[in-house]
Structure 1
Amino acid sequence: MKKIGQTLLLAILITGCKNEPKQESTVIDEVKQEQIITSIYPESITKVFNAHGNIEQWNKMNTLSFTMTKPTGKEKTTKDLKTRAELIETPTYTQGFDGETLWINEKDGNAYKGKPQFYKGLMFYFYGMPFVFGDDGISYEETEPLVFEGKTYPGILISYEAGVGESSDDQYKIFYDAETGHMQWLGYTVTFGKAEGSPDFHFIRYNNWQTVNGLLIPKSIDWYNYENNVPTEKRNTVEFTDVVLSEKVLDKAMFSMPEGATVID
């Protein structure tokens, strides 16, 4: 009986030793996977991503929504972060994109006078900083820093491979705080509807952040006037309220074109 007891105890100990390394290996594999994902980006943009909660956390999210208050009333944007389907709801019209079809649904006889192709995804892109620069088809380069009111901000030039997005000739510049890594400025060109790229950079200041679901995202942004491709004085502020950033997957039907809506070619 004593020998049987010793044999049984030895078997239990061996079984326990076999199980422990598997748990440790799983943890190591997860760390390695995170390092692999992060390593596909240059060090500078990785520093910015990490300062805002890291790109891996952003990639877990499926839904983003936010509201802006405009002179005509509240404008709510809802975005599927994986398919980039979008719904923009305002008092006078609704604009939608189901991943393939762009549509406008006018309300109460209000004629829509905007540019839906240009506006599709526009505010989402400005709001999703800096994480939208983790998309595929993007190139990163160092650029000259921005000096504003005596402070120097290191810069990253963002450009796109041909055929990526609506305006692949667009260029962006992120300027960030060298100590914290927080994004502070965005410079961007506007090439939509133009035959070639633009040399003029517009500027948005990002210095008011909020934490939602582990990610540091804008609470408001400031558009600046510019001269000689540098910002001068603040022009206006856009605030974001009712922000939702979630892993929840939305019903695709919410982006579908309703009866009576107009397809935008």
Structure 2
Amino acid sequence: MKKILYTLSLGLFLFSCKTETKTETQTITKQEDKSLTEKVVKETKKYPENLVKVFNAHGGLDLWKSMRSLEYTQEKPDGKEVTTTDLYNRKALLASENYAIGFDGQKPWLLNKTDKEYKGYDPKFGYNLMFYFYTMPFILSDDGIKFSEAEALTFEGVTYPGIKISYDNGVGATPEDIYILYYNAETFKMEWLGYTVNFVPGIDTKELHFRRYGDWQEVNGLLLPNTITGYGFKDDKPTTPKAPNVFTNVKLSTTAPDAAMFIKPEQAKFVD
């Protein structure tokens, strides 16, 4: 009888321990979930409500911020150009058969692989120029950005509400740039980007240029452009389309790219 009582008491004790451990684990898990929820809520409060809806329509800012690397390919006149970017520190590499442009986190560099003079875009801006357009709307979650309501854009009878983006002093190479994101009023997907240009000599820095979005592809749960089409412009309005920029072999990953790929090769030159 004593053995039976002892066994029963031991069983109740072990069951009690397991229950307490399970309850404690559940409490910790709930606390972690609550902390994560509070962090996301706090993060999204920085942005206008309609911009958060745009983020969500494209897969969500939380999912975007979990990604570490982005890669895509573009067809250029002299061959394919592959762009790889570390999404945490924005180190970048644009690699093609004839040249490579990189950013090591401090300075951009250029490697000319031919004997001919390099005549491509300025590496100082070129290493992340298309990346900035490509990662819309998520790139607008960067620090140092200010938001305000913009006048809506009407094109071919459709009206698109707008969100104006400006920058704090010292943010980016050209903090005086202005961007306006125009979105579909029903789906909240991004449709247009209006922007000023301050890094090209001889261009009116107040006039809006335009790129059209809408051709999206899903990559790891996020909507990213399949094509982006530049437009002619007049009086801060788009006019006629140009040849689109096409993006293929798009890869998003939660794993960081190899840091060595962004280091300037010995034959390359830093660009001031």
- Common topology (TM > 0.5): yes
**2:66, 2:41 → 1: CA distance?**
16
> Which of the numbers 57, 61, 75 marks the counterpart of 1:55?
61
1:9 and 2:12 matched: yes
> Which of the numbers 233, 256, 261 marks the counterpart of 1:249?
256
Aligned-residue offset at 1:185: 0.3
Q: 1:67 to 1:211 in 2, by over 3 A?
A: same
1:225 and 2:232 matched: yes
> Which of the numbers 53, 71, 81 marks the counterpart of 1:75?
81
**1:71, 1:21 → 2: CA distance?**
59
The residue type paired with residue 189 of structure 1 is: T
SS at match of 1:231: strand
Aligned residue in 2 for 1:31:
37
Whether contact under 8 Å (1:63, 1:78) holds in the other structure is: yes
The residue type paired with residue 225 of structure 2 is: P
Q: 1:118 to 1:32 in 2, by over 3 A?
A: closer
SS at match of 1:207: coil
Percent identity reads 42
Aligned residue in 2 for 1:95:
101
Q: 1:195 to 1:71 in 2, by over 3 A?
A: closer
The higher radius of gyration belongs to 2
What is the CA deviation profile of residues 107-155 of structure 1, one whole-angstrom value per residue up to 9, with x for unaligned ones?
A: 1212112322131210100111111101000000011111111111110
1:166 and 2:166 matched: no
The residue type paired with residue 66 of structure 1 is: Y
Instruction: Give the TM-score normalised by structure 2.
Output: 0.90
Whether contact under 8 Å (2:160, 2:185) holds in the other structure is: yes
What is the CA deviation profile of residues 179-200 of structure 1, one whole-angstrom value per residue up to 9, with x for unaligned ones?
A: 1110000001001166998210
Whether contact under 8 Å (1:92, 1:110) holds in the other structure is: no
Whether contact under 8 Å (1:63, 1:81) holds in the other structure is: yes
SS at match of 2:206: coil
CA-atom RMSD, angstroms? Answer: 2.2
Aligned-residue offset at 1:14: 7.4
Aligned residue in 1 for 2:157:
150
Q: 1:195 to 1:135 in 2, by over 3 A?
A: farther
1:42 and 2:48 matched: yes
Q: Which runs of 4+ in 1 moved over 6 A?
A: 194-197
Whether contact under 8 Å (2:93, 2:127) holds in the other structure is: no
SS at match of 1:74: strand
**2:143, 2:100 → 1: CA distance?**
29
